[in-house]
Amino acid sequence: MPQGVPGGWGRGRGFMGSYLPLIILKLIKEKGSVHGYEIMKIVENLFETSVPPGMVYMYLRRMEHRGLVMSEWDTSSSPPRRIYKITPLGESYFSSVTQYLKILKKVLDYICEEC
């Protein structure tokens, strides 16, 4: 990971667990604001795999604790839902990570040329 980028997400569940925090952050960035259940359903549809709700909410709490996202309660729906938005720190973090991932993608493309 690039310098200055917080690590320590935990091991997660295999490949998806390793990248789930970045997937969640990208979804929040793209949508502007989103609730946890919606994130879980979008991830399941995009990657055709189930995602444990506890894992999504665990990462959301960690990201909020680290200042990457912020949340507020939406009481206009029933039941009330916690809505997440990306912070400026989250935007900066995502940008630095994507620079790292672009390099990693080139490496993997080279290695997997014959895959």
**How far apart, in whole angstroms, are the C-alpha atoms of residue 94 and residue 66?**
13
Question: Per-residue pLDDT tens for 76-104?
Answer: 888 899 999 999 999 999 999 998 889 98
- Give the confidence band of 18 by pLDDT, cuts at 50, 70, 90: confident
Domains of the chain listed by start with CATH number: 14-111 (1.10.10.10)
What's the pTM value of the predicted model, to 2 decimals?
0.79
Residue 60: pLDDT over 50: yes
**Range 34-40 average pLDDT:** 94
- Give the confidence band of 114 by pLDDT, cuts at 50, 70, 90: confident
- The reply to whether omega before 52 is within 30° of 0 (cis) is no
